Amino acid sequence: MKPGLSLRMSQHLALTPQLQQSIRLLQLSTLELSQEVDQMLDENPFLERTEEEAPAEAFGLDQADTHVSLGDRVSESASSASSSEDNANEARDEAVTDVAESWDGDGSVDMRPDDSEWGGDATPRQNNGEETADAIDLAGSSGSLTDFLHRQALSLRLSEIDRAALRFLIESLNDDGYLTDTLPELAASLAGTDDLEQIDELVHRFTVALGLLQSLEPVGVGARDLAECLRIQVKACLQDSPDDEVAQAALAICAQPLDMLAKRDYKRLALACGLSEAVVKAAIPFIARLEPKPGRPFVQAERNIIIPDVLVVNTSKTGTPKFRIQLNPDVMPKLRVHDIYANALRGGKGDSHAGLQQRLQEARWFIKNIQQRFDTILRVSTAIVERQKNFLTHGALAMRPLVLREIADELGMHESTISRVTTAKYMSTPQGTFELKYFFGSGLGTDSGSAASSTAVRALIKQFVAAEKPAKPLSDNQISEMLKEQGIDCARRTVAKYREALKIAPANLRKTL
């Protein structure tokens, strides 16, 4: 074949640094965006926070809508506020150092007990008979669980070796307050030798320290498993009321395998404990009120509070609902280019000047990409609300099937872009706060030929289970038949999958006499 030259014209998309940054900012969550903004403020001297909004026209953008009403869209200027800064707590590991100085070793294990089938979130009781403080207030004023225990240990009159042993056990607890390693394992890891005599001495010291640890607040801390945690709490209650028949029965039940308690096998429990079924039935609610995770109140759950990116408000007081969609000003960072530094670059020359000009351009790109991010979130949220108005009015039972392609086709975007926008972004609605992905769901066939949303089917299953008779709970097959009576074709395996997603136990575990 004879070689030759030819010209061909083609178009392709080039991922410029600006476009790459725009895509990356779009998929960040609110917290990640706040961290990205803080990092950019530290690295780029031309970027600064402001109490006023940076004008979009200065960066080649049209003024973005941040406030939309369904039916009549209203353009307003974007409003935003500074992102809150998160401060991380420093971990403490002084116990390992103290004990290592005494015994030349260290060791700790972090494992959590599996109590997914357990229920109850009551505040644990105290040993001294005083009024129990609110767990959340106690945890908030006491810091971490280890700090709280260390402060209590200071009031105990112990020798240096016993104090070091207690401190080591406190530092070996996991976040739930459990001591997941056995005492011989802790002793062997700490000794670091095969000297059995030294290991036996350490086990003896740890046994004494464990008794002291389990006497501290919160009640149940230092347990090796869930059963021991419950027994410690029941014994604390018996110290206040030694003649409490229900508490005595609860202590006997907690000494049995917990699978019988989980299945509510009253007959086997009554036979194993030598009690009547009536007493066993009275003790089960008592046990359910105990705290399976003593360290739970000390976990700062406020760090995981969800801040919605979009706010949906019903502005119609009567008649047909009318929803207003707007961006949450609390999550929108207010940024601008530093005027003094930008003006100082005018007329400059040289290599250093070119580098500063590049940093200035990066600052402008960053502000522009953030504005585009929120504009895209608002457009996608508006399209979602337009399709799920029945959900906003009537709840999950009125959710309609929706897929990413529908929103992508309407807005002229790619499905991957819609997926990035709806991940880790939240919307506050009259029905609650939900991730944007919550509004998307597949459809199940109905007798009418239309489709029912999987979200609506899950809500219907939850409604069926809530209305069932406790003595005769509905099986998955029965729920499937009830859905077919409603005109929804849902197989038993699909019902089981939805039930597990709703964290609803099987019928045999829901049965209560």
**CB of 332 closer than 8 Å to CB of 374:** yes
Confidence (pLDDT) at 114: 39
Helix (H, G, I), strand (E, B) or coil at 8: coil
pLDDT surpassing 50 at residue 136? no
> Which runs of consecutive H residues, i.e. helices, occur in 112-244?
135-142, 145-153, 160-171, 183-191, 196-213, 226-240
Banded model confidence at residue 383, pLDDT cuts 50, 70, 90: very high
Q: Cα-flanking dihedrals φ and ψ of residue 326, to 5°? A: -145, 155
Tens-digit pLDDT profile for residues 223-256? 999 999 999 999 999 988 888 899 999 999 999 9
Query: Could you tell me the fold of the domain covering 442-510?
Result: Arc Repressor Mutant, subunit A (1.10.10)
53: region left, alpha or beta (phi > 0 left; psi from -120 to 50 alpha): beta
**CB of 391 closer than 8 Å to CB of 437:** no
- Beta-carbon contacts of 310 under 8 Å, excluding residues fewer than 6 positions away, are 325, 326, 327, 328, 377, 378, 381, 425, 426, 427, 428, 436
Q: What does the block give as tokens for 391? A: 């959900």
Mean pLDDT on 7-34: 83
Confidence (pLDDT) at 435: 93
Reference 446, options 492, 477, 485; nearest CA is 485
Angstrom distances, CA of residue 252 to CA of 206, 247, 263? 27, 9, 17
**CB of 360 closer than 8 Å to CB of 292:** no
Tens-digit pLDDT profile for residues 270-299? 898 998 988 988 898 899 899 999 988 887
Residue pointed to by tokens 């575990």: 509
- Beta-carbon contacts of 102 under 8 Å, excluding residues fewer than 6 positions away, are 160, 161, 164
Q: What is the mean pLDDT of the chain?
A: 79
Q: What does the block give as tokens for 479? A: 């729920």
Highest-confidence segment of 121-130, 302-311, 498-507: 498-507
CA angle 327, 333, 334 (to 5 degrees): 105
The percentage of residues in the chain with a pLDDT greater than 70, rounded to a whole number, is: 78
pLDDT surpassing 80 at residue 95? no
Residue range(s) in the chain whose domain bears CATH number 1.10.10.60: 442-510
Tens-digit pLDDT profile for residues 404-430? 999 999 999 999 999 999 998 999 999
Banded model confidence at residue 191, pLDDT cuts 50, 70, 90: confident
Instruction: Please tell me the least confidently modeled range out of 190-199, 205-214, 220-229, 330-339.
Output: 190-199
By the 10 Å C-beta count (0-12 exposed, 13-18 middle, 19+ buried), 307 is classed as middle
Confidence (pLDDT) at 142: 52
d(CA 336, CA 366): 10
Confidence (pLDDT) at 96: 33
Banded model confidence at residue 347, pLDDT cuts 50, 70, 90: low
Angstrom distances, CA of residue 95 to CA of 99, 190, 193? 6, 12, 20
